Structure 1
Amino acid sequence: MVQKQYKRSEKSSYDKQTAVGTTGMVVSPHPVATEIGKKVLIDGGNAVDAAVAIQFALNVTEPMMTGVGGSGFMMVYNRDSKTTKIFNGHSRAPQAAYPEMFVDEQGEIIPFRDRSTRGTAVAVPGILKAMDAALEEYGSKTMADLIDPSAKLAEEGMSVNWVMKKTLDNFHYRLGDEARKLYMPGGEPLREGDIVKKEHLAKTFRILQKEGIGCFYEGDIADAIISTVKEQGGFMTHSDLKSYRISIDEPAWGDYKGHKIASCNVPSAGGTTLLNILKLLETFNIEQYSPKSWEKYYLFTEAMRIAFADKVSYFGDPDFVDMPLKGLTSEEYIEERRKLLNFERRNDAVDFGNPWKYDSVKEQTVVRQPFEKERERSETTHFTVTDQWGNIVSCTSTVEHPFGSGIMVKGYGFMLNNELTDFDAMPGGLNQAEPGKRPVSCKSPTIVFKDDDPVLTLGSPGGPTIIGSVFETIVNVIDFKMELKDAIEEPRIFNANGPLIWWEGGIDMEAKGNLEAMGYEFADDALVIGNVQAIQFDRENNRIYGAADSSREGGAIGLEG
């Protein structure tokens, strides 16, 4: 059989990025993390155990994307109870945060690169508490045991891969002094193949093994975090760390062409926006078009523009604001918004709608946010795992932008996030910064069900492009009947509230020309959008299929038995 070749990255290995199993599957953006998750399953651990081990491993292998200094949403499907929960370890603002924190004395928005690499960008991290809570409810192994493989990996060292090299080349300017010592020895970024030992990170992991995660929020590690943040001009305090709490949330639920879909709920706008896009598309029978047709690209683009116009206007932290979620997801509102799709031109009338009239909550003022051309895309990471009992974990975790704030905790070797920059820079709206508040996210760990059984689980990094990557992959599987790897690799496009359509190499150039004639603008060059990791279940034939995205090194391993 001739293997299909995927061109989104010439350095990705096809044979390591797809797998078939019968009793389990692990898919992550780094093969070492995937291998660590596999060993947990082989040793009798369940999906939650494996997910915790993978998350620690990614802190070693992808520190520019995720780590204990960040946050994450861990969606857990428990086969016995047939319940789906989100262990929400999203970051929170320190008590000293305030709505005008990202505007200067003249009322102008501080440039993104500046405001995202200050101590004032650092939110209280939550991923450790989310993992701890998931382990307490569903785990079968101890946190200490699950940390151990990654502690050893950090001590022994590992080679820099092409993904790390590329990120360093493009974003080394984000690194602070402490991080530069590790990632830019001698003033030059590490090269592919360099071996890096992370003694300080290993020390952190060994402390967590011995003392538990409490020391991160109240012990020596907490002291180091606060000291580091204050040195960088931040205002996080010991009290902020000590008082941090997670939530355990119900997913955002929706349906699409006979499938029930669970995705991330507020304060992530990802799930609801994803579901709205799918509902906008549902009646157009998109399968009648070619996957590379202008009609498909048109529908994708306009549906994203419509849904994102509402996303940037109507989402916030549910602990602080009322949102018109019932209105946004009502059939009447979706039908009203669907009328904006005309197949003629880029509809300049697309703007936020009025979901309030379909809801009972009090109407709030919309504060428009300026388009920031220089705003960098966040990176993040996603992984997914299923075990021999049929449990599933779909987890998206992050330090936000590449290397987060660029601030590494002195003597402890992990990066701190810059997630406060997910608040609106211009205050006054639902997503303005406030003490203890969680910023709006786009993270979308997702599980798709058919007849109450999971048939697909997936997610992606990429800031707002997460939503595009996930819904496009779902459409490729459900509507275009693609095999899982093909569904992931099909070139994607993305547009939200900016003027340009981002596109991946491989989209049809004739279709692109047709859209340009309809008033759309495309970025000058192709770029990578997202990094989907997915598992598909074939219940009839007792097969589990895993696929990793070639835009990173990625690894999928299936278990048989």
Structure 2
Amino acid sequence: MFSSGIGGGGFMTVRIPSKAQDASSEVYALDFRETGPAAANATMYVGQPMKARIEGDFIERKNLSRTLEIIANEGPEAFYKGPIADSIIAKVQAEGGILTHEDLLSYKPKVEKALVGTYRDKKVYTSHAPTSGPVLLHMLNLMERFDLVGEGRTPLNTHRMVEAQKFGFAARTKICDPAFLNSTAQITQLPTKEYAEAVFANLTDDTTHPPEYYRPEYDVPFDHGTSHTSIIDKDGMAVSVTSTINLVFGSQVLDPNTGIILNDEMDDFSIPGTPNGFGLPPSPCTPPLALQANAPLSSTAPTIIENKDGSLYLVLGGAGGSRIFPAIFQVILNLEWESARAHCRGRDNGIMDVSQAVEVGRLHNQLYPDVVDVDRPYGYDLLQGLRDRGHVVKSVVEAVGVKGGMLFAASDSRKNGVAAGY
């Protein structure tokens, strides 16, 4: 309840299998990300100090079930106009907010064909910008150029994986919401093999580099808490959905009449004239300008992967702010490594593949700060290999895989999640 809900937004990737045996599935990306109110402006938070919050308050949401029942019976229009909308607007404005009825009425979710790429013999479907789906494909394109299965999880390949993250985070600073500015060309280029080839020339095996080497252009604020669910049904329909109200309990404003906790997604916009602690200027993509369609960037990347023959392979996504797309990236690589190792040991039954790929320790370097965070015990030789190459080393994903007609689900214990089957 504290990370997501109908007071927030998110992204969804949906696979609809074809009824014809030889036809391809249809995969769609749904964008229901929050957008800035029409009255938002670039300096609305300048000089506005944050308010301290008090812990220990008891929260009771008596009316949320009634709100959900109304929406279920009357459809989405019941949320955007009528008593529910009236109550939300009244509460926001009573707290000093600028949301209006026109903002709710003009909001439209976006539905389009999913962003598609390939990784080796797999087809990867993910979400478009303003998510980090294009960045995920870029990092996979970089790692595709290495023989990870043949070479295994070596210190060198671990270094390459971290370097791909650093190039990915640098590339992320250059993209915008496609509805804002003229960023279509950059966004279209980012997930291509050609772009990865140009970047690959700068990936060095013997050493890492300071952040400026990777050519980040702007400071991009990172989003925060999320919830993710990966689902596969008996017919092969798959859904990967990530939703959020941003920080814990969102804006910490609860509308008592509807029981809805309201998001604080405006926190994901930049404040103009305020460089970050590393001197990068705020991104021109993310100031809260008076553009109702402008959505802040997101670290989410709900993803669905198919085998070469079009059958379903993996449905995954994650929660955890800026760690989301690097975690998805590593789970895909981990699954490749673990499957190869199981095959070599004569245990190619897939039973442990997904859970091992999710639970194994992960490395995270988001360029700023230039530190490799290790969240769980990791091989000493692998970490020492990073240190030898100049890395500074310090010490959540949901997935469902398909193999041999069986489903194997894993929920990341880092987020106290569970895997449920039917």
> Which residue of the partner structure matches residue 343 of structure 2?
none
TM-score, normalised via structure 2 length: 0.85
Q: Secondary structure at the match of 2:228?
A: strand
Alpha-carbon shift at residue 411 of structure 1 (Å):
2.9
Contact 1:65 1:401 survives alignment (8 Å): yes
Q: Does 1:423 align with 2:269?
A: yes
Q: Which moved more, 1:427-436 or 1:91-100?
A: 427-436
Q: Does 1:346 align with 2:208?
A: yes
Alpha-carbon shift at residue 71 of structure 1 (Å):
0.4
> Which residue of the partner structure matches residue 554 of structure 1?
417
1:455-490 CA distance string (max 9 Å, x none): 111110112211111011111112441611000001
Q: Residue type matched to 2:285 in 1?
A: L
> Which residue of the partner structure matches residue 484 of structure 1?
354
> Structure 2 residue aligned with 1:533, among 378, 387, 398?
398
1:238-261 CA distance string (max 9 Å, x none): 110111111102212111111110
Alpha-carbon shift at residue 542 of structure 1 (Å):
2.1
Contact 2:159 2:385 survives alignment (8 Å): no
Q: Does 1:97 align with 2:22?
A: no
Alpha-carbon shift at residue 215 of structure 1 (Å):
2.7
Q: How far apart in 2 are the matches of 1:244 and 1:316?
A: 15
Contact 2:180 2:285 survives alignment (8 Å): no
The 1:206/1:325 distance shift into structure 2, 3 A limit, reads closer
The 1:336/1:428 distance shift into structure 2, 3 A limit, reads closer
Alpha-carbon shift at residue 551 of structure 1 (Å):
1.6
The 1:313/1:100 distance shift into structure 2, 3 A limit, reads farther
Task: Name structure 2 gaps, 5 residues minimum.
Answer: 20-24, 273-281, 340-351
Alpha-carbon shift at residue 72 of structure 1 (Å):
1.6
Contact 2:318 2:324 survives alignment (8 Å): yes
> Which residue of the partner structure matches residue 4 of structure 2?
66
Q: How far apart in 2 are the matches of 1:101 and 1:517?
A: 46
> Structure 2 residue aligned with 1:458, among 316, 325, 333?
316
The structure with more helix, counted as a fraction of residues: 1
Q: Residue type matched to 1:73 in 2?
A: F
The 1:240/1:74 distance shift into structure 2, 3 A limit, reads same
> Which residue of the partner structure matches residue 295 of structure 2?
438
Alpha-carbon shift at residue 175 of structure 1 (Å):
6.4
Q: How far apart in 2 are the matches of 1:250 and 1:301?
A: 30
Q: Residue type matched to 1:503 in 2?
A: V
Q: Does 1:246 align with 2:184?
A: no
Q: Which has the higher contact order (CA 8 A, sep 6+)?
A: 1
The 1:509/1:254 distance shift into structure 2, 3 A limit, reads same
Q: How far apart in 2 are the matches of 1:327 and 1:388?
A: 36
The 1:231/1:319 distance shift into structure 2, 3 A limit, reads same
Q: Secondary structure at the match of 2:41?
A: coil
1:401-434 CA distance string (max 9 Å, x none): 2211111113322211111222233356123323
Alpha-carbon shift at residue 511 of structure 1 (Å):
2.9
Q: Residue type matched to 1:325 in 2?
A: I
The 1:287/1:424 distance shift into structure 2, 3 A limit, reads farther
CA RMSD, 1 decimal: 2.4
Q: Secondary structure at the match of 2:170?
A: helix
1:100-124 CA distance string (max 9 Å, x none): 33433xxxxx77xx2xx7xxxxxxx
Alpha-carbon shift at residue 266 of structure 1 (Å):
1.5
Contact 2:386 2:393 survives alignment (8 Å): no
Q: Which moved more, 1:456-465 or 1:338-347?
A: 338-347
Identity of aligned residues (%): 27
The 1:181/1:218 distance shift into structure 2, 3 A limit, reads farther
1:532-559 CA distance string (max 9 Å, x none): 1111112xx3211111111233222333
Contact 1:317 1:431 survives alignment (8 Å): no
Q: Does 1:275 align with 2:133?
A: no
Q: How far apart in 2 are the matches of 1:241 and 1:391?
A: 31
Q: Does 1:182 align with 2:58?
A: yes
Q: Secondary structure at the match of 1:306?
A: helix
Contact 1:289 1:295 survives alignment (8 Å): no
Q: Residue type matched to 1:448 in 2?
A: I
Contact 2:12 2:127 survives alignment (8 Å): no
Contact 2:15 2:27 survives alignment (8 Å): yes
Alpha-carbon shift at residue 290 of structure 1 (Å):
4.6
> Structure 1 residue aligned with 2:86, among 201, 218, 223?
223
Contact 2:156 2:385 survives alignment (8 Å): no
Alpha-carbon shift at residue 350 of structure 1 (Å):
2.6
> Which residue of the partner structure matches residue 347 of structure 2?
none
Q: How far apart in 1 are the matches of 2:410 and 2:283?
A: 42
> Which residue of the partner structure matches residue 330 of structure 2?
472
Contact 2:231 2:239 survives alignment (8 Å): yes
Q: Secondary structure at the match of 1:229?
A: helix
1:165-215 CA distance string (max 9 Å, x none): xxxxxxxx6569xxx6434xxxxxxxxxxxxx6413223223334543323
Q: Secondary structure at the match of 1:556?
A: coil
The 1:210/1:281 distance shift into structure 2, 3 A limit, reads closer
1:209-249 CA distance string (max 9 Å, x none): 45433232112221221122122221111110111111102
Q: How far apart in 2 are the matches of 1:487 and 1:497?
A: 24
1:132-160 CA distance string (max 9 Å, x none): xxxxxxxxxxxxxxxxxxxxxxxxxxxxx
Q: How far apart in 2 are the matches of 1:440 and 1:275?
A: 16
1:298-331 CA distance string (max 9 Å, x none): 1121111111111112232335433312332333
Contact 1:200 1:411 survives alignment (8 Å): yes
The 1:175/1:230 distance shift into structure 2, 3 A limit, reads farther
Q: How far apart in 1 are the matches of 2:77 and 2:111?
A: 19
Q: Secondary structure at the match of 1:471?
A: helix
TM-score, normalised via structure 1 length: 0.65
Q: How far apart in 1 are the matches of 2:392 and 2:229?
A: 33
